[in-house]
Each structure stands twice: as structure tokens, then as C-alpha cells.
Amino acid sequence: MELLAIDFLGKPLRLEGSMAGWQQLFWDNTLVSQIAAAPTDTNQFTHQFELLNNEQTIQCQLNGTLSWQPFLIHYQVSADQQMVAQGERNDKDIERQQPQQPITPEKRFSLIGLASLGMKALKSAKLIKVVLASASLAAYSWLFSIQFALALLACLVFHEYGHIRAMKYFGMKTKGIYLIPFFGGLALSDEKINTRWQDVVISIMGPAFGLIMSLACMIAYWITGEMFFAGLAVFNALLNLFNLLPILPLDGGHVLKSISFSMNSKIGIIACALAAVAGVILSYRLGLTLFGFLLIMGSLEIIFEWRQRHQSHLLPLDRYGQIFSTVWYVSLVAAFIGIIAYFASLGDSLLSLPLQILGT
């Protein structure tokens, strides 16, 4: 990931690195110094390099201290033993940065290139959103009913709008919401995330908005007694609960992966594994057999990939972020299960169906 980007002697100086310990220093996109991954953790680093500027050789040095959790980097850059720049960067600076993008060589005309350009233009057009939304409405109406289709699309749009709001909170440009028949919805952005915290917030805000919708429908049911609101509340709760399963590319998979991969010790992954076991036991005790089985599969996927966490370009969560994200995630799961169980207790066969599905 990009740790530092400043102007140095009239050209950009960029420091890339990862939690594994390796660092690469670029001056005007030319590699001038690097540090290999180290088995031991150290928060101090030094890069010594020579630059040729205006036919003069300049002895340069970049040194500083680096802490990953919480993220903080102090740096000093000198040229011929004269201080040129110094400062510090924290996690908020990483969130706002626009990482250096490699220059794509210009390609000659080709049918493949023309088709790719056409697909990009089509994806950015408003027309494709209307077409996909109409296709989704027609497909779900054909399978079920127009009322159910409209309710389902409302659930999907409100869920995806939560992702959009989170992206905008971090200053990311968004392309909007795309409804895809038999797949669900997508909230797209032109920009990539830089931190695990961004990944958690953007992922979990969809189910969080889904919870708001279920609670609003529940209140509407209490006030009016209309079964439509009860059905929408419990169906939306089931939809978002499945989205919180710890399986990629679902939102729950992104959340738990960000939490697990931010743990920088064996104690962390042991705690994650114990929490997963506890979740599985609780799921089977509550009769949520399907949820417990999928929790096992998702947890195994995260554990198997855990060793590669240091190679990620995403800034990890600090301890506070790990705890807060875990509590947020567990609270949402508990809230959705509570809503499903409440409506199942009313004795209506249709309202009991989501709980029966979870117990399959």
C-alpha cells in the first residue's frame, strides 16, 4: 500500500509497503531503494539512495518510524544532509489518498478494445440501470407477483443505498445502484478502498440500512395491523441476514475478513476461531442449522487465507476498530434473528417460513 507520497526535488517521491515488512521507494516512478520483508517487527526504517538531478549526484536519505496499529508514520527526507521535508501521516490520510495508478500504454485500434470501450460506456449510462431494474421487476413478477416484486426491489434498493451513503461518507465517487435479475443489487464506485475500516463500514452499512427498513415495517405493522408490513419486515430481515453470512462476496464475508486479517498475532486468529465455534454452537442450539453450517464454511475460508493478510494493500483495523466492528456485526445478526423469531412467534404460517428456512 502507499505509505507516503510527497514532492522531492521537483518530482514525486512515493513509499510503498506492507505489514510483512517490505518497502519500496520510488522517485518519479523509478525504484531507488527497497527493504525486504523481515521476520521481526521493527518500527524504524531508513532508505539511502542517490539521485541524478541536473547532472549532479545527490546523496539522499529517507528515515522514520512506522506503526501499523494504530497507523502512524513519521518521516524525514534529506538531500546532501540538508533537511528537505518532514511530517507525519495517520489512518485518515490513508483513507483520503488517491494511490498512484500505473500508466497504461496506449493500444492500437482493435475490435476487442472497441467492445471494451462500449461496455464501459454502457455500464456508466443511466439507460442500463433502467433496463436492469425493469428486467428485475419483470422476472420477479413472473416468478411471484407484482406486489412481491416491488417489495423485493424496495428492500434491495434500500440495502444498496446504505453502501452508497458509506462510499460518499469517505468521499468516494459512486456510479449508483444496479439491480440485476436473480442476483440482487450492486452499489458501484469508481474508486478503490485504502483501509480495512472503509471495507467494514461500506460493507456493513447495507445491512444496517436493511435493519432500519425492517424496524420501520415492524412499527407500521404495530400501528396498522396490516400483514403486508409484517411480511416485508421479516422477509427483509431474512434477506439481510443471509447477506451477513461470512462468505465472500457477501457483506458479512468482507466484514469478518477485515476483522480477522487485521489481527497481527496468533492469539487473534485463535480468538477468531473460538468465536466462530461459539457462533456455530449457538446456531445449532437455536435451531438455525443452515446458518451454523454456512458459518463453518465462511470461517474456514477466512482461516485458510489468514496467512496472506500481510500482503494486502489495505491498512488494517486497530484494536478499537476490531472490537467495534465485531460488536456492530454481532448486533446486526442478533437483531435480524430477533425480528425473524418475533414474527414466527405470532403463529402465522407464512411469517414462520423464514425461521423454518434457517432451521433447515
What would the DSSP string read from start to end of 292-327?
HHHHHHHHHHHHHHGGGGGG-SSBPP-HHHHHHHHH
Are 204 and 319 part of one and the same domain? yes
Q: Residues for the chain: how many in total?
A: 360
Element housing 189 (H / E)? strand 184-189
Please state the rounded mean pLDDT for residues 225-247.
Answer: 87
pLDDT band at residue 108 using 50, 70 and 90 as cut-offs:
very low
- Where is the domain boundary, 169, 191, 213? 191
Give residue 306's pLDDT: 58
Residue 335: what pLDDT? 94
pLDDT at 309 (0 to 100) = 56
Does residue 269 share a domain with residue 242? yes
Task: Answer yes or no: are the C-beta atoms of 262 and 316 closer than 8 Å.
Answer: yes
- Same domain for 171 and 215, yes or no, is no
17 contacts 1 by C-beta, under 8 angstroms: yes
CB under 8 Å to 359, separation ≥6 — which residues? 287, 288, 289, 290
In a domain? residue 112: no
CB 264 within 8 A of CB 317: no
Residues facing 78 on adjacent strands: 61, 83
pLDDT band at 107 (very low <50, low <70, confident <90, very high): very low
Is the Cα dihedral 192, 196, 197, 202 positive or negative? positive
Residue 101 maps to a domain: no
In which domain, by residue range, is 169 found? 123-191
pLDDT higher for 190 or 221?
221
How confident is the model over 40-95, as pLDDT tens digits? Answer: 556 888 999 988 877 788 899 998 998 877 888 999 999 888 898 899 998 888 87
pLDDT, position 110: 46
Pair 342, 223 in one domain:
yes
Structural domain contains residue 6 = yes
Q: Which of 139, 166, 191 is the last residue of a domain?
A: 191
Whether residue 70 lies inside any domain: the answer is: yes
- Residue 1 — pLDDT band, cuts 50, 70, 90? confident
Residues 147-206 pLDDT 10s: 777 877 888 888 989 999 999 998 888 887 777 776 667 777 877 888 889 999 999 999
Does residue 219 or residue 231 have the better pLDDT?
A: 219
What is the residue-averaged pLDDT of the chain?
78
Residue with cell string 477466512: 302
Average pLDDT of span 297-318: 66
Distance linking the first and last C-alpha atoms of the chain: 43
Peptide bond just before 105 cis, omega within 30 deg: no
Residue 287 is classified by DSSP as T
Number of structural domains in the chain: 3
Run of H or E including 76: strand 71-79
Q: What pLDDT does residue 80 have?
A: 87
Average pLDDT in the 345-357 region?
78
Of 8 and 118, the one with more pLDDT:
8
Residue 312 pLDDT exceeds 70: no
Of the candidate ranges 10-19, 80-89, 91-100, the one whose mean pLDDT is the lowest: 91-100
- As a whole-number percent, the residues of the chain with pLDDT over 70 amount to 70
Q: Which three cell numbers stand for residue 224?
A: 396498522
Query: Looking at this protein, which amino acid is placed at residue 57?
Result: T
Q: What's the pLDDT score for residue 130?
A: 66
Which uninterrupted H or E stretch holds 112? Answer: helix 111-124
Is the confidence at residue 307, as pLDDT, over 80? no
CA angle 24, 255, 149 (to 5 degrees): 130
Q: Which residues contact 259 (CB under 8 A, 6 or more apart)?
A: 196, 200, 272, 317, 322, 325, 326, 329
| pLDDT (0 to 100) of residue 302 | 63
Residue 114 above 90 pLDDT? Answer: no
CA distance 350 to 48: 70
Please state, in angstroms and rounded to a whole number, the distance separating the CA atoms of residues 104 and 17.
22
Q: Is the pLDDT of residue 112 over 60?
A: no
Domain-located, residue 39: yes
In a domain, 280, yes or no: yes
Q: What is the mean pLDDT of residues 129-141?
A: 65
Which three three-digit cell numbers place residue 318? 486497530
Instruction: Pick the last residue of a domain from 168, 191, 214.
Output: 191
At 208, list the grid cell.
444496517
| Judgement on whether residues 86 and 132 belong to the same structural domain of the protein | no
Nearest Cα to 251, choosing from 288, 296, 297, 202?
202
Return the amino acid letter for 282.
L
Query: 2-16, 98-112, 140-154: which range is least confident on average?
Result: 98-112
Q: Which residue has the higher pLDDT, 191 or 270?
A: 191
Count of helix runs (H) and strand runs (E) in the chain: 11, 10
CB count, 10 Å around CB of 106?
5
84: domain CATH number is 2.40.128
Type and span of the H or E element at 203:
helix 196-224
pLDDT number for residue 298: 63
Helix (H) or strand (E) holding 281: helix 266-285
Q: Do 178 and 241 fall within a single domain?
A: no
Tally of CB atoms within 10 A around 257: 24
At 106, phi and psi to the nearest 5? -70, 135
- pLDDT > 70? residue 289: no
Same domain, 216 and 316: yes
Instruction: For cell 516512478, name the residue.
Output: 29
What confidence category does residue 209 fall into, taking pLDDT thresholds of 50, 70 and 90? Answer: very high
In a domain, 171, yes or no: yes
- 354 and 217 in a common domain: yes
Reply yes or no on whether the pLDDT at 284 is more than 60.
yes
Specify whether 251 is located in the same domain as 307.
Answer: yes
48 backbone dihedrals φ, ψ, rounded to 5°: -115, 130
The per-residue pLDDT for 43 is: 82
Q: Do 158 and 272 share a domain, yes or no?
A: no
Do 187 and 225 belong to one domain?
A: no
Same domain? For 259 and 308 the reply is yes
In a domain, 108, yes or no: no
